[in-house]
């Protein structure tokens, strides 16, 4: 099926949920409401004509000040059987920064969702092992948010673990061979 046809099928099935369908090149994105995301995803996964068995990618995007809802979670789905793909997006407001986890549908979403939380602070409810993944567990802030600075003027104070490292270095100086 062409991406356009898939998008229309989703629209006909979940009429009130689909907010927007955009196209770029041969790729189509469907912006949906986050409330029924699990339902939509299960439909895409299990429907025999769509059969999106493979979650290519899951990531977040921060549209601070550029769109009405600050975050979006982007799902790239592909059906290996039918060789077609679609992009599903779910808008997430900053105030209610959470969405249902799709780990039960695609096991591979596990680490992607953790990364999405790590980088954007979007919570995924129902995730089996929800914690940071790339950043240290005690890191403050979510680095890929647009209001997170690229380079901090705080220097060494940026991460409190760094101070610990410096202290350890200081403590172990006595073992140094001169």
Partner 1 sequence: MLKKKELSINMGPQHPATHGVLRLVLELDGETVVKCTPHVGYLHRGTEKLGENRTYPMALPLTDRLDYVSSMSNNIGYCVAVERLLGIEAPARAKYIRTIMAELTRIANHIVWIATHALDIGAMTVFLYSMRDREWILDLYEMVCGARLTVTYPRIGGVRCDIDQEFMDSCYKFIEDFPKRIEEYETLIDQNRIWLQRTVGVGIISAADAINWGLTGPTLRGSGVAYDVRKAAPYDAYDQIDFEVPVGKNCDVYDRYRCRMDEFRQSISIIKQCLDKLPDGLVLASEAPPYDMPIGKPRVMPGHPMGEILPGELVEEKVPFDELYSATEVPKGELGFYFVNDGTARPYRMRIRAPSFVHASVLPKLCEGSLVADVIANIGTIDIVLGECDR
Min dist. Cβ of residue 37 to partner 1 (A): 18
Min dist. Cβ of residue 178 to partner 1 (A): 26
Min dist. Cβ of residue 61 to partner 1 (A): 5
Shorter beta-carbon distance to partner 1: residue 15 or 114: 114
CB atoms < 10 A from the CB of 139, how many?
15
Angle, CA of 103, 109 and 110, to the nearest 5°: 75
Shorter beta-carbon distance to partner 1: residue 27 or 125: 27
Shorter beta-carbon distance to partner 1: residue 43 or 111: 111
Block residue for tokens 């059906």: 79
Answer yes or no: are the C-beta atoms of 54 and 78 closer than 8 Å. yes
What is the contact surface with partner 1 in residues (CB under 8 A)?
A: 22, 24-25, 27, 29, 53-57, 59, 61-63, 65-67, 74, 76, 80, 83, 87, 106-112, 115, 119, 132-136, 143-144, 148, 150
Shorter beta-carbon distance to partner 1: residue 136 or 157: 136
Min dist. Cβ of residue 110 to partner 1 (A): 6
- In the numeric block, which tokens belong to residue 36? 């029924």
Min dist. Cβ of residue 64 to partner 1 (A): 11
- In the numeric block, which tokens belong to residue 162? 């760094």
What are the φ/ψ torsions at residue 81 (nearest 5 degrees)?
-65, -50
Residues 106 and 109: their CA atoms lie apart, in Å, by 6
Closest by alpha carbon to 39, among 16, 58, 65? 16
CA dihedral sign, ordered 54, 56, 60, 61: negative
Shorter beta-carbon distance to partner 1: residue 24 or 175: 24
- In the numeric block, which tokens belong to residue 62? 């921060």
């Amino acid at each position: 099926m062409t991406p356009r046809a898939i998008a229309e099928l989703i629209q006909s099935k979940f009429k009130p949920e689909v907010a927007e369908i955009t196209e770029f090149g041969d790729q189509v994105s469907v912006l949906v409401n986050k409330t029924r995301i699990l339902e939509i995803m299960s439909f895409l996964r299990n429907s025999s004509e769509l059969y999106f068995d493979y979650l290519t990618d899951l990531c977040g995007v921060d549209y601070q000040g550029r769109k009405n809802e600050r975050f979006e979670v982007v799902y790239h789905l592909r059906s290996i059987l039918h060789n077609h793909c679609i992009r599903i997006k779910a808008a997430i407001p900053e105030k209610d920064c959470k969405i249902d986890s799709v780990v039960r549908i695609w096991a591979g979403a596990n680490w992607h969702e953790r990364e999405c939380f790590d980088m954007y602070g979007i919570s995924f409810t129902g995730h089996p092992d929800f914690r940071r993944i790339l950043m240290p567990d005690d890191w403050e802030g979510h680095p890929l948010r647009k209001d997170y600075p690229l380079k901090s003027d705080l220097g060494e104070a940026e991460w409190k673990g760094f101070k610990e490292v410096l202290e350890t270095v200081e403590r172990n100086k006595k073992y140094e061979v001169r």
